[in-house]
Structure 1
């Protein structure tokens, strides 16, 4: 089979699916092979820790497309068939089944996997992660007969799972090694607010603590032992201590790796016929002063997939520059974030923290670079518009009593209160 006009996408998550979809809808007429290692059709992952876990949505509703879509779009979907080798000299991908797929362009959308907890007892029944549908299905079965839940890691997945379990009336303990939840992702003000929401609803939050071992009886977990010897009762333990990018295949193929598959401003790897996107890719981010970053979000994966597809279809952009944004639901709080913060930023609060409706504007010098919002979706949408523009509010603007993000966005950077 010829390599001419053949694209292979490794990874059938939301980014990989979007790449294949955008290629075909953008006019690509060649062969498209979408390779996934799960048995399921491509599906959305964010609802797994919320609606799906609660049982308020189904596997079918999570699907990004049904089987007829792939037939209609002439996308060959390889399910439960892992890519095991890439031969760059002949431009072939070898699958676990023995199938060899030729490519003129290869797209890595291999995502990331949960970071394992390296302590004794982590293999006990009742100990799990939450990354895919199979993980969520296992947890749904376990939680039906469980009363005591321990979450190891105070990141988004851990907090979302904890919120669902506490709302269902279970005893929940969160163990976080740092001094606040979401310390690497959110401002101290936002972290403190979310911590208070969880503790007010009865969740036990143990900060600055680590896990030394998991203990069990008859093969099932019963206790979590902390670094000081304290033991916490547990019927279920969910581990959410970060993820590891899936780069092993790319590394064996000789591509440049640095906490992800390194790509340039057009998402090309060190091999010009190979691109990478989503959780597995490290790229120079416009919104981080061209620092190499790796973003773990659906928005980034989807937008990068569209960018890669456009390039393969002959209409490449100058560089990938989409504004990063994220979201999370915890109890009655909708948390939204746009932009990328800097470690030593200046922060200005808009709204009332006590009311649960506020935004944190984060500044690098005299430019806003990130906005975090709780239950203020209009602020979030305005922030995305502002961050896509070269005109940004300064701290002096934000401290003006008449300032709002919406007014600034609508005024194109010249709000009515501006002295200019």
Structure 2
């Protein structure tokens, strides 16, 4: 049997679609196959907890490409096609129908799955997990009939869905095991700002809350029982307690797996003809000099472009600074950089926290390792430059809104 010349991607997501687009943009004229287990063509996930969930964005806006784009660019988009095994030695994948498909290069953009809550009642009707477009549709429908909504988990998904539910007019209770929302991600100083934001909009925040059971009647959720015996009545429950990378195929194929599919800076796995990108990839980052796995939209958008170029033999690596954003009520923010829990020694604020118009900078040994602009716009590129400069910067000048950020780049070593 002749070796396949096809470039195959497993995962018809934003990452998969961007990889296919890059292959064509770079002039590859061989077969391109995009395999997706969903029935929907590739779409973006941020709107599912933001504009689309709020009813501000039309359904068509969530898709990566128009319906005819794939045929026009000779990309074979196979929906409802579940891959059950990868055979690296044979350069083939097996599909659920038993057929095999050969590849010259393989890209894994298998993404991640919501963590399920391991308590009784977690699978009752009216309990929602948000990952797919259909999930967002169901949650949006619940807003039309539910007057009381419980949200379990105060991470980004939990807070964004809580904001959407409040905007829709529901009474909302958020249950979080930690002391503050986003505590591991942002640290105490900035996490408090998001707690105050939701409290100001009428959300009942319950911290140190351990869920014991989701209660129900006639097969449908009607509340949440906590370990301390208290109970929160709810017509619908939204669970957002994190995601787990979908590494099962990679692990079964013998690829290196460690908190995701382990890849190098070129996004190549332990097999030279297999690459991975997006949520599932634990990639070596040249700037940070470590492997990191980032679960945000910007990675799904940008990593597959590098992976596709690498599949074509180009000497490229992925060194973009991590980026994500959120919109909650009247707060919009962008975060640029990377900080592990406890990986900073100071937070510097520039602007006014009382009106939620500021920039927060996380510093480690005088270096800016991350910055978050809240209701302050057109500064992301400057924040990215501060992060990548790897220079010590005077915190007093960083906090002073009268000192332009670009001046800090011009004179990075000024430690007054």
Measured after TM superposition, the shift of residue 59 of structure 1 is: 2.1
In the alignment, is the contact (CA less than 8 A) between 1:224 and 1:232 conserved in 2?
yes
SS at 1:191's partner residue?
helix
In the alignment, is the contact (CA less than 8 A) between 1:225 and 1:231 conserved in 2?
yes
Measured after TM superposition, the shift of residue 17 of structure 1 is: 0.9
SS at 2:228's partner residue?
coil
- 1:206-240 superposed Cα distances (whole Å, 9 cap, x missing partner): 01111000111111111100110100001110000
Measured after TM superposition, the shift of residue 368 of structure 1 is: 0.7
The equivalent of 2:104 in structure 1 is 104
In 2, the alpha carbon distance for the partners of 1:399 and 1:414 equals 15
The equivalent of 2:393 in structure 1 is 393
In the alignment, is the contact (CA less than 8 A) between 1:278 and 1:295 conserved in 2?
yes
In the alignment, is the contact (CA less than 8 A) between 1:124 and 1:219 conserved in 2?
yes
The equivalent of 2:325 in structure 1 is 327
Q: Which moved more, 1:105-114 or 1:134-143?
A: 134-143
What's the C-alpha RMSD, in Å, of the aligned pairs?
A: 1.8
In the alignment, is the contact (CA less than 8 A) between 1:348 and 1:399 conserved in 2?
yes
Measured after TM superposition, the shift of residue 396 of structure 1 is: 5.4
- Residue pairs, 1:181-192, within 5 angstroms: 181-192=181-192
The equivalent of 1:413 in structure 2 is 410
In 1, the alpha carbon distance for the partners of 2:415 and 2:174 equals 48
Q: Which moved more, 1:323-332 or 1:370-379?
A: 370-379
Structure 1 gaps, min length 5: none
Count of residues paired in the alignment: 414
Scaled by the length of structure 2, the TM-score of the pair is 0.95
The equivalent of 2:301 in structure 1 is 302
The equivalent of 1:9 in structure 2 is 9
In the alignment, is the contact (CA less than 8 A) between 1:33 and 1:78 conserved in 2?
yes
The equivalent of 1:339 in structure 2 is 337
Measured after TM superposition, the shift of residue 34 of structure 1 is: 0.5
Counterpart check, 1:136 vs 2:156: no
In the alignment, is the contact (CA less than 8 A) between 1:41 and 1:66 conserved in 2?
no
Measured after TM superposition, the shift of residue 75 of structure 1 is: 0.7
In the alignment, is the contact (CA less than 8 A) between 1:260 and 1:281 conserved in 2?
yes
The equivalent of 2:362 in structure 1 is 362
In the alignment, is the contact (CA less than 8 A) between 1:52 and 1:58 conserved in 2?
yes
Structure 2 gaps, min length 5: none
The equivalent of 1:166 in structure 2 is 166
In 2, the alpha carbon distance for the partners of 1:380 and 1:188 equals 23
